[in-house]
A and B are shown apart, each in its own frame.
Chain A
Amino acid sequence: MKKTIKVLVIEDNEYYNNLLSNAIQQSVNPMLAKGNYQLVLRSFTDAKEYIRKIKSKELECDYTAVFIDYYLGEGINAGHIIKILKEHCSDAMVVLLSQSDSVRGKSDLVPYDYFVVKDKFAPSLCGLYLQQYIENKYSVSLDQ
């Protein structure tokens, strides 16, 4: 039976959302090629919709890793969602993204594992973090 790697991306910018999703997909491709794993990637641009679905239990909350933008529009920030997420999947890796490095200071109360500034390296950095996390979690090596 294949192990499932479930990844959640919440980024209100559709372009950046796709960019992140693509980088994440690329990063785990070497692992998927080994045949024992499958990737389930869910991405949301609307944070409110995600919260609604989680609260109505339309979605299960059992993610391996979560990539989430800090400012999600309409007064919602990553802190709200991470709080809900941590109640259900406390061991999920949380990567917080933001345009500005200054958010790092503001996000003190938000429990996250990595902070990524959304520059040109951010998508591949997210892929790198996911790769390393999966390697450590499943004790496999993705190095070629």
Chain B
Amino acid sequence: MSGPDNKHLKKNSIQLKIGFLMILAVILLTATCYLLYRNLSSIVSSIRIDETPELRLLSIREISTDIEKAGNSVRIYTITKNPKDIKPYYTFISSIDEKVNRLGLECNNDSVLLVQTDTISNLIEENIRIWNKLLVLSRDNNVIGNLRQLSVHLDSVSGTLRKQGILKRVFSLSADTSHIEKDIAADLENIVEQNRETRDELAVRELQLAKNSSVITGKFYDLITKMENEVYERIQAKAEAAGVVADKTYRWLVMLSVSGGLLAILVIYIIIRYARNAYAYQIALENAKDEAEKLAKTKELFMANMSHEIRTPVTAISGFTEQLLHESLNNDTNSSLKVIKSSSDHLLKIIDDILDFSKLQSNKLALEKVHFSISQILSEVRSMFERQAQQNNTTLSYWLDPKTPEVLLGDPYRLKQIMINLISNSVKFTINGIVHLEVTSIRKPAEEIDLLMEFSDTGIGIDESKLNAIFEDFTQAEMSTTRKYGGTGLGLSIVKKLVELQGGTIDLKSKKNKGTTIVCRIPFSKGDEKLVKKDISPPVRVPEEISGLKILVVDDEEYNRMLFKKILDRWKIKCRLTGSGMEALDVLKEEKYDLLFMDMRMPGIDGLKTTRFIREEMGISESDMPVIFISAASMSEDLQKFKNGGINAFLQKPFTEEMLLSSILTVTGNKIQPYFGEAVVTDNKPDGEGKLDLHNLYHISGSDEQFVKQMLISFITTTGKGLNELREAVTKQQWESASDISHKIQPPCRHIGAMDLYNLLNKIERTIRINGNTGSVEALAENALVEFGIVSRLLDDHIAKIS
């Protein structure tokens, strides 16, 4: 199974696991809630039920207290005979029935308690009978009257009370009462009559009756205690049952909590593991992305370096071979040189193809948009292949439709490249035939046209079966073609990509041994004739009196030295170039110079120390040999220090021809105030979409393209080398050295208008000098390398155009 499928399955499996566990957690939570609800409800309901027995107990206690009070009241009355003391007894008697009935109602649901209540009721009844006997024994007629009155009252209200109430049963029977009265009266009369001396004996009997009452009361209390105990036992039993339920609930709760906790830990573990894996994948992905970007940058840099590293020596070989071919040499040497020339040119072509292809593949090829003359391009292309066509005995011609606008707006270099590639192929594959290019245009609205170019030849043609593959990369019609005619198989592929890049189309028709016709259609805007690139401002007028000067230039940057050499040679000024302060001192020991250009910052001894040595140790005065200090940095802050060090004037890098001349005139002519040159401010149209501005270089060169080419090659070499040194210094954390290197390579960048690169280098220098390493220098250095890759590619394109 493939990698992505595995990852997909793994991701799904994690989602399923988490989903399952979450569902489990929800079920567990629901079960816990239900269990808790059920058990808590049970406990609450048992508590509610227990409220009732407590009320019954209260009633029992109240009755018990009342009985005790009544008993006490009777006992006190029997002793004191005070009617006040018997009142609590009457109150008890009047309320006891109601209270016992209430207790009966409260115990209505409990048969055991109901039986007990009846027993209590009977005991109270019996007790009251005894108390009544005691009261009668105390011979108080009021009592009997009161009791009778009470009985009548009770009879009248008996409808609302229990039918078989205690008092009713005790007092309602008047016959019984009169019977007791008669009995007691008879007894008393008998006793009074029979033996008044037996009063003490009667007292004993009263005491015995009281004892009987006490026994009955004790029984009553026993019953109440028994009832209370029973109620308490029930409460206890319910409490125990509730405790069992609570324990059970607690156990369930613990069990469910532990399960829930474990589940949560499991879910968290899975999520953390997933997050960690996801983080690790993300880091790996980011690293891979960084690595890929780094590789892409390295590739770009490598391509840029390769373009230079291969092209420069090959260009030199080709150029010098051409020079040698012009010299009169013997035939053998001449033919060998021709082979070298042809081989090196061929190699250059291959390098250009590969570089273009690489740029097109990575969409890095930028199109220019300039005004150009189509007829000029056609003429140039024809002249390029005229000789080769003649050698093949082939007629090369073109026709430009007069209706086609003369000036177009677009990329003339890429248009020319398309023409060159196609005509080169036609000429190469056509012997004793015709190669013709016909250029017409189709008008479109709003100043737009489609340029139609028909390339036709009567060459070897292409087999129809191979037509579809002909525009593919590294493809030639047949293997034998490569062997016989050479080439990379990239030509037509590049053409197709270039046409499409410009928004055009390309069609090919061919027949084996009949010839080939290729039609390209590319959209362009109409151009403005006034804006067609023409060369540049007039050269600087150099006064004759400076022609005899002898100047020493000290600068470790080769680009600057070459620039000096070119300009000074043109002005017919003798100059010697040195790359270090030490070298300059050695030269000055041997030779006198009229003027010295001294770079400020150089490896070894810096410019100021060298100048000071020249002035103080070698005794060369300012009038004998003025020193013009050159630097990319602003001089204003250290102006006085430099003047004290024997510096006569300053020239800021990068400089223009006018600035250089002005500085020379300042120190050699009228000895006027030193010239403080300003940095070149370029407002000309930039090259390479604002990445470059070569106008000043062209201006200085006096339209010498070979010089410009040489300077650009020098720029690529020295700046590339400098940037590699910079990277090494940054890697080794040699910040001082890194700062010096970035300082050193800034001026040439500024001079060719590579301002992005210049700004990066300037920032590196400033960052190190102001803050030390802040951690951003590494990134800046990498960016500078990438920027250099872009600049060097643009320069390569420019060099190729010059070539």
- Say yes or no for B604: interface residue by CB 8 A criterion: yes
- Say yes or no for B10: interface residue by CB 8 A criterion: no
Binds A, one of B215-223, B350-358, B606-614: B606-614
Contact B618 A121 (CB under 8 A): yes
Residues of B near any A CB (own CB < 8 A): 582, 585-586, 589, 604-606, 608-609, 613, 617-618, 641, 645, 736
A87-138 contacts to B (CB < 8 Å): 114, 117, 119, 121, 124-125, 128-129, 131-132, 136
Residues of A near any B CB (own CB < 8 A): 114, 117, 119, 121, 124-125, 128-129, 131-132, 136, 139, 143
Residues of A within 8 A of B613 (CB): 121, 124-125, 128
A15 to B608, CA, bound (A): 30
A125 to B616, CA, bound (A): 11
Contact A121 B617 (CB under 8 A): yes
Per a CB cutoff under 8 Å, which of B604, B608, B645, B736 touches A139? B736
B737, chain A: closest CB distance, angstroms: 9
Residues of A within 8 A of B618 (CB): 121
Residues of A within 8 A of B608 (CB): 143
A33, chain B: closest CB distance, angstroms: 18
A143 to B637, CA, bound (A): 14
Contact A132 B589 (CB under 8 A): no
A14, chain B: closest CB distance, angstroms: 23
A136 to B609, CA, bound (A): 13
Residues of A within 8 A of B585 (CB): 121, 125
Q: What are 30 A-B contacts with C-beta separation under 8 Å?
A: A114-B582, A114-B604, A117-B586, A119-B589, A121-B585, A121-B589, A121-B613, A121-B617, A121-B618, A124-B613, A124-B617, A125-B585, A125-B613, A125-B617, A128-B605, A128-B609, A128-B613, A128-B617, A129-B605, A131-B609, A132-B604, A132-B605, A132-B606, A132-B609, A136-B736, A139-B736, A143-B608, A143-B609, A143-B641, A143-B645
A100, chain B: closest CB distance, angstroms: 14
Known: A119-B589, A128-B605, A132-B605. 11 other contacts (CB 8 A): A121-B617, A121-B618, A124-B613, A125-B617, A128-B613, A128-B617, A129-B605, A132-B604, A136-B736, A139-B736, A143-B645
A117 to B608, CA, bound (A): 22
- Smallest CB gap from B642: residue in A: A143
Residues of A within 8 A of B609 (CB): 128, 131-132, 143
A129 to B589, CA, bound (A): 17
A136, chain B: closest CB distance, angstroms: 7
A136 to B734, CA, bound (A): 11
A27, chain B: closest CB distance, angstroms: 11
A136 to B605, CA, bound (A): 10
B645, chain A: closest CB distance, angstroms: 8
Residues of B within 8 A of A121 (CB): 585, 589, 613, 617-618
A111 to B620, CA, bound (A): 32
A125 to B583, CA, bound (A): 12
- Smallest CB gap from B617: residue in A: A124
A118 to B543, CA, bound (A): 42
A137 to B608, CA, bound (A): 18
Residues of B within 8 A of A129 (CB): 605
B451, chain A: closest CB distance, angstroms: 60
A143 to B609, CA, bound (A): 8
A75 to B208, CA, bound (A): 156
A128 to B736, CA, bound (A): 20
In the complex, which of the residues B585, B605, B613, B641 has the most CB atoms of chain A within 10 Å of its own CB atom? B605
A131 to B605, CA, bound (A): 9
Residues of B within 8 A of A132 (CB): 604-606, 609
A120 to B618, CA, bound (A): 9
Those 10 A-B pairs whose CB atoms lie nearest each other, nearest first: A124-B617, A132-B605, A128-B613, A121-B617, A132-B609, A128-B609, A128-B605, A139-B736, A143-B641, A121-B618
